[in-house]
Each structure stands twice: as C-alpha cells, then as structure tokens.
Structure 1
Amino acid sequence: MIIGYARVSTLEQNEALQTDALDKAGCERLFTDHASGAKAHRPELDRLLDVIRDGDTLVVWKLDRLGRSVQNLVDLMNLLQSRGVGFKSLTENMDTTTPGGVLVFNVFAAMAQFERDLIRERTNAGLQAARARGHKGGRPSKLGDRERARIRELYQSRALTVQEIADQYHVSRKTIYSSIKNTR
C-alpha cells in the first residue's frame, strides 16, 4: 500500500499543496498533522507508524514535513527500513525502494552521524576548557557545608523527621537524604 503523510505547522496553513501531490503520486491513504515539526509526538504520524506494514511505501511531499531534525529523520528512516517499508520524498526525489535511493539515504545517515560526533567533540572540548579554568559544571547546590552539617546533626538527634527538616530548609526529602549521605 502507498501511504502519504502531510504536515502543516498551524491550523491556518493549508495542506492542499501536499495532499494534491500525494494523491497524484498514487497514495491510497493519507495522514495529515496540523502540528509544529518540533513536537516529538504528532498524532497522525503516530497512527501512521501503527498501521504501516512490510511492503508498504511511505510518501511525503518534502523531507522536512516528516522529521524535526536530521537525526529524527534518520531514526524514522531506520524504523521504516527495519519494518520493510519503502520511503519516497517527492520534492527531493528520494526513493529508498531503489538502490540509488538507498545510497542517498546512507550518505544522509552518515552525515547525521558525523554531525552528532562533531557536536559531541565540541561539547567535550568546551567542558574540558571550562574545568581547566576552574569552573565546576552542574546545578549549584541548594545547601552549603554549614547547612549540611546542621542537617546531619538534626537527623542523627532524631529531634525532627526528615520531612520537617526538608520543610525547614525548603528542600525535598531526597535532598536531605543526599545531603546526609554525602557528609558521612
């Protein structure tokens, strides 16, 4: 079965351009989302992924209508490939049901992996440079050394419950337990 997917970002936008092209491409069933591409879950895309089967072909008007990012597209394409589903993008003329289309997809996936590796490398270099300058990463502690020592005293004396100590210091019980554990 040839299944089409269209997406427009807002209710004011019209999906007719996409759906007309998908109809012309021979799509037997269409799924249309009215949602931002930035949303992780789009109801009609989720429904489509539930019904698509081995031997089906998913057709989109343009790649950016399907995925939120290069990585998201690669993940979706890998999911389709693992289910034996072909993929066509009309505007980019990409067709994974042909050897050339598979090659284009693999180059696309390699570029996405390269981009992830570069980001990871730059992030690690930035963190190392910050550490070398004495910057400590992470969220600042809500409690100082004096507060932790006092909390430990209160906890050991059993004068207050953990919840009462947490309320007194305006933190969660988990923070109290972590504080006690880290001062031993």
Structure 2
Amino acid sequence: MSRRRTRPDTSGKPGYVTPEGYRRFEEEADRLWNEDRPKMAKAVQVAAAEGDRSENAEYQYSKQRLAAIDRRLRFLGQRLDVLTIVDQKPPDDGRVYFGSWVTLEDEDGAVQVYRIVGPDEIDAKKGWISMDSPVGRSLLSREVGDELTIQRPRGEVTYEIVEVRNTPPDGSRGKDA
C-alpha cells in the first residue's frame, strides 16, 4: 500500500458530493465493516494462534492490514458526517453546475468530456474533475458556446464549451458514469 498521498486531505473539511458519490462512500464503509474487517480480524486471530508473533509475517501483515481498514473506516465516517449531498437538479442543461458533464473542444478539434465534482470524487480516468481545480473553477456558471483559456503546463489552451448535460452522456442515472 502506497503512503504517497494523491489527493488533498479533506478529512475534516465540509465539502460537496454527488448523490452517487455519497452512495459509493457508504457502500465502501459498509463493505469494509461487514466483509473486509471481519475477514482480517479472523486472519489476525488465526495467525496469532501459530505461536511467536514477533517473527510471524502473516500476523504482522494481518495486523497492518486491519489497521489500514480501521483508518479508512474512520476517514469515511468523518467524511460522511461533513459532506453535503448536492442532489438538486440544475434549472437548465445549457449552463455548467456542480455535477454537470461538460464537453469541450480545443483549437485542434480535440474533444474532452469532464464532470464537475467535489474533491472527494475526482477520477482522472473518468474525466471527473474537482470544482476547485483550475479547469473546474473556470467552467462553473459558463454556458454552451462560451470560450475559455486555461493555463496548462504545455501553455495556454483555448476551449469552447460545445455541450453541457446535467444527466450522464450515456443516459444512465449517473452511477459510475
């Protein structure tokens, strides 16, 4: 397990989350508590019964894994307490709001689709970007047809907003869209 932190520490800060994001956190906490933790506690018990714990690699690993599960459960519990679910449907599909899917086209005609989410939900593979990121901040409240210039490591890039949807592009209800 990597100790490198890839996301900002948001554990005690209030934040916004989509309904599906909140559901994913609840499901993860439920799985950790009802499935993973009991299995790992049993593994610790079995490894401890094998004798000398100081040189028992299985025991050491199981204890570390159990501690990691407990840390994640504490984090999820704290986060779920302070998150605000944004489930109100925006008034129109033409303006960018929290939770919107935004289709951008750059000067070369390359198209990218982003979803504006809270910092707890970012997922680069899905194109889910934080509302606090430079791109996210510059997109909020914009409309179809607006152009925006974003400073990127490779220089400035100008995009046009070609579509804004407040429902998933594939027509699903948003679960892991």
TM, length-normalised to structure 1? 0.28
Compare the two structures and name the one with the higher helix fraction.
1
Compare the two structures and name the one with the higher strand fraction.
2
Greater RCO, CA 8 A, separation 6+: 2
Structure with bigger gyration radius: 1
